[in-house]
Each structure stands twice: as structure tokens, then as C-alpha cells.
Amino acid sequence: MSFVLATNDDGIHSPGLAALVDTVAGFEPVVVVAPDRNRSAIGHALTLDAPLRADEIRPDVFAVDGTPTDCVNLGVHGLVAGKPRLVVSGINRGANLGDDITCSGTVCAALEAALMGFPAIAFSLDARDFSVEDLARAADVVDYLVRYVLVAGLPSGVFLNVNIPSGPIQGISLTRQGKRHYGEGIVHKTDPRGRSYYWIGGGLTGFEDIPGSDCNAVAASRVSITPLRTSLTSEAALEKMADWNLSLSLD
């Protein structure tokens, strides 16, 4: 069976996932394997020390008590016969721009798929509360790009991080990863039993103005498509470091 595998990190009941699945199901069979709850900011985490349960809540729709990366593994290797033509993740509640990508379960689900050799796209919508209009516009972007990638394919080791602005869309751009600014937001408080607790989560304070970046594109109400690599190696640094005089004496 040929199918598109869909997952997310906001959980199986997210309206963003429903919009993604409904759109792609209009032209391709879709298998959904998604976390049974919100696992946002879980990054590329893989569950190795506990069993995973996959509950088929509807035909070809599986809720898993694991991470997005677990879901990609189960969707590719275990739950259904055949392999996906494409793996899609999202539509995430909130943009995944700049520094966000290594924290993002949405993006790392696509990373996991790319590491396994499958073309993959992560979709995020720059809104915390999805309006019907925003979701409809995002669904149009999904429709366009999924069809495009199914025909054009993707280079080996490359996956797409797609961010969709809220409000009317002014265009679509290929971008590079930018730089978001977060406040130094560790909140320290005391619980009712007198113990300290800490809450990470400084609010977003802006982004660096980098022409051609994902942040700039979305701020200009454009859809941002960043091709990301599975390898984090810096080829430029390897060249620069070639004259490092490294040696270890190991006795």
C-alpha cells in the first residue's frame, strides 16, 4: 500500500492535524500515527525505556502514548503494511522558526523521516489560536506543497520546514534558518508547600532582521520554506579547522 504518513506534536485531537489529514486525504491515502496528547517541544526524543501502545481510534488513525519521533518509527516500521511515499507533520500550533527547530517535535518528526530516507515536510502556522480562515489558508498551502513534493521529490537527506503566516498570505519564499529572540524567562516561585519551582518560558521578544530568513518571510506574511539537512556538520568549520594542530598522548 502506498500512503502518506501524517503525525504532529500537538496531539491526535489537534485541529491542525485534522486540517492536514483532510487536505492530503483529498488526493492520497493517509495513515495517521500521532501522539495521544500534546508533546510540543519534545524535540527528537525517542522512547526506549518503556513499551508503546498504539490505539487505532479509527481505521488507519493511531493514537500513540509516545513522541512524534516514536510515531514516525511505528508508522514506517510496524503499524501498517508498506512504506510511506511522504511523511507530513503538523499543522503545528505556532511557528517553528530559527532556533525553534531542534526543540520542535513537529520539525523533528520530519527530521526522523528524512533520517530514514523518506521525503518529509513539517508544517507550522504562526498562530496560537487557529481561526477558521487561517486553517483554511494553511490547508491550501499544504495542498499545494504536498502535491508539489510528491511530483518533484526532495534531495536525499533534506526535509522541509514550512511556516505559514496568520492572516492573508502575500507570497511564498525559499528561506534559510533565522534567529529568534526569547526573553530570559525563568520564573522562580514558591509552591503551596514552601518549595521552589521554576518555569522555563521567556516570551518571544522578536527576531534578528536577516534578509532571506524564515523569520523575515513570515513577518512579511509570506509562507516560508526552509530546506533543512539531516547532518549538522559544518563543512566550512571543518575546512577552517584543518590547520588545528591536534594531538593526544595516550600513555
Residue 143 CB, nearest distance to Mn ion (Å)? Answer: 21
Amino acid code (one letter) for 42: I
Residue 40 near Mn ion by CB under 5 A: yes
Residue 214 near Mn ion by CB under 5 A: no
Residue 10 near Mn ion by CB under 5 A: yes
Q: Residue 92 or 213: which CB sits closer to Mn ion?
A: 92
Q: Residue 18 or 210: which CB sits closer to Mn ion?
A: 18
Residue 38 CB, nearest distance to Mn ion (Å)? Answer: 7
Q: Are 5 and 113 in contact (CB under 8 A)?
A: yes
Using CB under 5 A, which of 9, 112, 126, 134 touches Mn ion?
Answer: 9
- Give the contacts of 112 (CB within 8 A, at least 6 positions apart): 44, 68, 69, 72, 73
Residue 14 near Mn ion by CB under 5 A: no
Distances (CA, A) of 87 to 47, 92, 108, 154, 159: 20, 15, 12, 12, 10
Residue 186 CB, nearest distance to Mn ion (Å)? Answer: 21
Rounded CA-CA distance 103/93 in Å is: 14
Phi, psi of 217 (to 5 degrees): -60, -50
Q: Residue 42 or 54: which CB sits closer to Mn ion?
A: 42
Q: Cβ of 4: how many Cβ atoms within 10 Å?
A: 23
The C-alpha cell of 84 is what?
Answer: 510511506
Q: Residue 11 or 75: which CB sits closer to Mn ion?
A: 11
Residue 92 near Mn ion by CB under 5 A: yes
Q: Residue 104 or 226: which CB sits closer to Mn ion?
A: 104
Residue 70 near Mn ion by CB under 5 A: no
Q: Where does this chain touch Mn ion (CB under 5 A) — which range of 35-43, 71-79, 95-103, 177-185?
A: 35-43
* Strand residues in the chain grouped as ranges (E): 3-7, 30-35, 54-58, 61-64, 84-93, 120-125, 158-164, 171-174, 180-182, 186-190, 196-200, 204-207, 222-229
Residue 6 CB, nearest distance to Mn ion (Å)? Answer: 14
Q: Are 63 and 52 in contact (CB under 8 A)?
A: no
Residue 163 near Mn ion by CB under 5 A: no
Residues near Mn ion, by CB under 5 A: 9-10, 40, 92
